[in-house]
Amino acid sequence: MFGHSLDEQLQTRIDSIFKSLESLEKLSQDVKNVNNKFKWSKSIRQESAKKYLDRESLSSDDIEVSIIIPSQNKYPLNLFTLYSLEYQTFDLSKMEVILIDDASKDETEEKLKDYHPPYHFKYIRSTERLGRARVRNVGIQSARGSVLIFLDAEMMTEPNFVENHYINHQTQNNLILSGALYLRAVYSCIFPTFSEQQMNKIADVTKQNQELYSRYKQCKFPLDHPYPLIDKRDIAQNGFKELSFNAYPWYQQIVRNFNEELEGFAFPWMALLTGNMSIRRELIIQAGLFDEEFYHYGYEDWELGYRLYLMGAQYKISNEIVTYHQEHPVEENKWKEAVGNFGLFTIKHHDVDVLILGLELARMTDLLTMSHILKEYKLLLQSNPTHFQSFSEKFICILETIVLLLEVDIRHFNLLGAAGFSSKAKSDLKNDMKQINKLKKYPNLTEFLDKVLNA
């Protein structure tokens, strides 16, 4: 390996791995074949933009804000979310809530089809599962508001939630506003499959309120259905907040280290998390909506976020639009679905900004260090536009190999061997590192590469 020109060597390595593993190509084809009819090519995106922008004339009800809520088997959590939207300070006559039921098998249809809140409400049900991207596109296509808020079905809101989202979009047309990084957790229901640890946590948080603690004590196992700990009155009075707690350290490390504009963060587009974010409808249509090839769990939001980032969209996070995630059982297969969608993400955007996400996914580094590595890598190439081109190709080769190994669930030992590096190629990489070390500006990049060399 690395005996011929580097371009030829890298292509030979990539061809060899793809022929032997066929993992990413198979993944892409499998995803395309699962209940998807739309492929968002550039021409279709342009056609879609014209089609949906023409709908402006249909907004006869003076709707300013559309809240899009996909839901699959989330009753009664989705009802609590809808209740929380009834008490908004925003003019309810100028907002609509669109709940798209993605083939739920629980009580969602029975309980919500006749729901009549004080705001405009549209219930859309699909009898076949649409998938995470397509179900949100259905909401976009049904929306009449100029500002779209994406909200997960299990997210309860505070009274100023809609108003604060809306205000931020009045002075900036290319803004993506996210409150997801300030997410708090809450137990609104007890589920039959909750663990002893979860029950102990519920006991701990409910002790602060005598009535809530009494409800907890009245819950008796085994359960056939979710047991509600709160009711509509608790939501109207914001009493559910007494049950809330911090539970998402991944988000908190971003909030602690960067400002609202995420200055200095290499991945501002990660703020596009559809659990709680807003965007102007015209902007998301120009971007081509969500890519419907992302059928399963994960990365459909970041893929759109990255596209918008490349278009020049501005990202902002805010602690004035906090949501409360109602804890519920999580399916065990989410990890494999996420890895599969990450592979699809790298196929669609074979850029270093995306490939490098494999470092954290493979647990080779944490989020902040990964951000530093990417920034240092880009600075190195910008400061030395011709000197480190060979190193750059080796670095990309390493990232590609990490992605492939994740796809086949192989741990990241002996990465250089898996990447097909010969003894000479390894020696060249060591020499590159010596030169980079002498510059004394790239500590995170060199530390990562040192781990790779010594693995």
pLDDT digits (tens, 9 = 90+) for 4-50: 444 454 455 445 444 444 443 443 344 334 333 333 333 334 444 44
What does each C-alpha distance from 161 to 185, 278, 320 come to in angstroms? Answer: 16, 11, 7
Nearest Cα neighbor of 318 from 259, 274, 260 is 260
217-261: pLDDT as tens digits: 999 999 999 999 999 999 999 999 989 999 989 999 999 999 999
For residue 410, what pLDDT band results from cuts at 50, 70 and 90?
A: low
Stretch 288-303: mean pLDDT: 96
pLDDT level of residue 113 (50, 70, 90 thresholds): confident
Place of tokens 């359960």: 223
Average pLDDT, the chain: 88
Cα–Cα distances (Å) from 401 to 130, 353, 393, 407, 455, in that order, read: 32, 15, 12, 10, 14
What percent of the chain shows pLDDT beyond 70?
86
pLDDT of residue 46: 42
Angle of helix 367-383 relative to helix 443-453, nearest 10 degrees, comes to: 110
With a cut of 90, say whether residue 192 has pLDDT above it.
yes
pLDDT at 414: 84
Query: What distance lies between CA 125 and its chain's CA centroid?
Result: 24
Mean pLDDT value across residues 360-388: 95
Amino acid letter for position 218: Q
pLDDT in tens, 258-269: 999 999 999 999
The pLDDT, as a whole number, for residue 6 is: 41
Distance, first Cα to last Cα, the chain: 19
Looking at residue 39, its pLDDT comes to 32
Residue 447: its pLDDT value, please?
96
The pTM score is 0.87
Strand partners, 67: 97, 149
- Percent of the chain at pLDDT exceeding 90: 79
State the DSSP string of 73-104: S-TTHHHHHHHHHTT-SS-GGGEEEEEEEES-
Model pLDDT for residues 338-354, shown as the tens digit of each residue: 999 999 999 999 999 99
What distance in Å separates the CA atoms of residue 231 and residue 25, rounded to the nearest whole number?
Answer: 48
Inter-residue contact 426 to 385 (CB < 8 Å): no
Give per-residue pLDDT as tens, 143-173.
999 999 999 999 999 999 999 999 999 999 9
Mean pLDDT of 126-139: 96
pLDDT greater than 80 at residue 405? yes
Tally DSSP H helices, then E strands, for the chain. 21, 12
Cβ atoms 238, 224 nearer than 8 A: no
pLDDT tens digit sequence for 50-107: 444 444 444 446 999 999 999 999 999 999 999 999 999 999 999 999 999 999 999 9
